[in-house]
Structure 1
Amino acid sequence: MGCDGGTIPKRHELVKGPKKVEKVDKDAELVAQWNYCALSQEILRRPIVACELGRLYNKDAVIEFLLDKSSGKPLGKAASHIKSIKNVTELRLSDNPAWGGDRGNTKGDKHDDLQRARFLCPVVGLEMNGRHRFCFLRCCGCVFSERALKEIKAEVCHTCGAAFQEDDVIVLNGTKEDVEALKGRMEERRLRAKLEKKAKKPKAAESVPKLDVSEGPSKVKAGKSEEPSLDSREKKASPAPRSTAASGSSSGKAGKPAGAATKRSIADSAESEAYKSIFTTHSSAKRSKEESAHWVTHTSYCF
């Protein structure tokens, strides 16, 4: 029964039991949610934005995600509900004066307190490390603890004074129940926005006049052609009184029609002499036979 050396195997070495479920370290999970971007898994750096489900992202990571049109996006499920930059809100965070950052631990011989948060609630002073529930407002982006919202009840923001409603309050990194409730509110909000957008659009059927089907396309074209003809008639009829007045004052002949225009000679006009010399009525064009040349041009086609 023994192996080499006379050892006796135990039961847990021979019989394999059920695997133990690995427990997730809560502290590590809180650090990942509150200190790292949910999309790029990088450290959160300003500007920091939050979606309608309460997840934290780096703004540049969200922009790169929206510009990337490829189908196989890395970690695309975490931001699949983000369709445009309007679906995220830039957060106004208050710095924690007790947080010194990671500059002092350059050699790696210093203990970093992961529970020390970079930001805190400006109203109550609680640190935003995941131990306390925090929320933000969609209307202004201000972040404060849920305790401040419950203790100091008001219809305006505690930090900037902007008015808000219950629908504008979104819990950051909430539980599964919170995420499901926020998802339902997000779908209702987007559906309401679509309906309002359709209602604002002017209907094309109301702007275009209704035409009878029996008339056909020929009458429609005829109706369109009548409009410019009326305008052209008005333009032709407008200079008529000027011409009649001019003809009646200058000639006074009964044989000519009233709408006929009078002829003017270029020689009597006020143009320059260089312009008048182009025409045959100018004095330079009237030469005597002696001044004219004694040669005749001809072509070979004449013979």
Structure 2
Amino acid sequence: MIYLQLIRYKNLLLLALMQIIFRYGFLNQQDGYLALADWQYFLLVLSTVLLAAAGYVINDIFDQETDTINRPEKVIVGKAISESRAYNIYVGLNIIGVSIGFYLSNVIQKPSFATIFIFIAASLYFYATTLKKMLLLGNILVAFILGLSVLIIGVFDLYPATYDGNREKMGLLFKILTDYAVFAFVLNLIREIIKDAEDSKGDYNQGMQTLPIVFGVNRTAKIVFGLVAIAVAIVLWYTNKHLMSFDLYYAVLYVLFLVLGPLMYVLIKSWNAKSVSDFHHLSTILKWVIFFGILSIAVITYNIKINTNA
């Protein structure tokens, strides 16, 4: 169980579930050929999950002193697991994850695409060792990698199956994936800033230059408020343009209650957020907003089918 906690298995399950939703709740429902067989797509999910797990491990290795201050009851490396064993786990997870990436890149006859997996592994190491100490750069990188976990589906499942006869349709599907990747990026960027506010005490003692340390927790809360307001506006615009305009009323209700509603709650609560528990609460809600936002693709697809058969 301690090893599952080390790799944040709950977060990994959510990541895997999101990628499965895109494949079987959206892409598989379209008329067209996908490049990967089901078992190969499972390998793609496994690879991204393993690389994410490695990222959590290396982060824990370099965050031992910070975590001792921020969350002493959750420190694993150096207590339940030795640092050398954690390094071995980190290396093993990366080797398997990148190796699967090499295999899949050759399956779709695009061996250069293996650099995507190397980039993810290297970026998460660079984040844990350097970037997370810098103002916003680490936040942007982590948010980008989550968005990349959505785009990678299109890169490996859509792009290799694209030809002149289906180029327009595949382009539309890839654009939809891109929209969701941007959604995941924006909300996860906000969540990373909130997590920095939650961990500001330990980060300050380690000389980090996060947004809450540079501008203060109160100003950071106001910045979060502004960013969430922008996210709310984008979701409202998208819902009106792409859902209401096509009479996708089930999807509209879903988004209103499970995406916009919680986002509005975060917006209101962020204005006066001050304590560690306040920011932890907001971070947890945003994690579920991201998940339910991704799940909306399956609801939209189902709603389109209902309208088509009506």
Normalising by the smaller structure, the TM-score range is under 0.3
User: Quick check: which one's helix share is greater?
Assistant: 2
Larger relative CO (CA 8 A, sep 6+): 1 or 2?
A: 2
Q: What TM-score, normalized by structure 1, do the two folds share?
A: 0.23
- Considering only CA atoms, is the larger Rg found in Structure 1 or Structure 2? 1
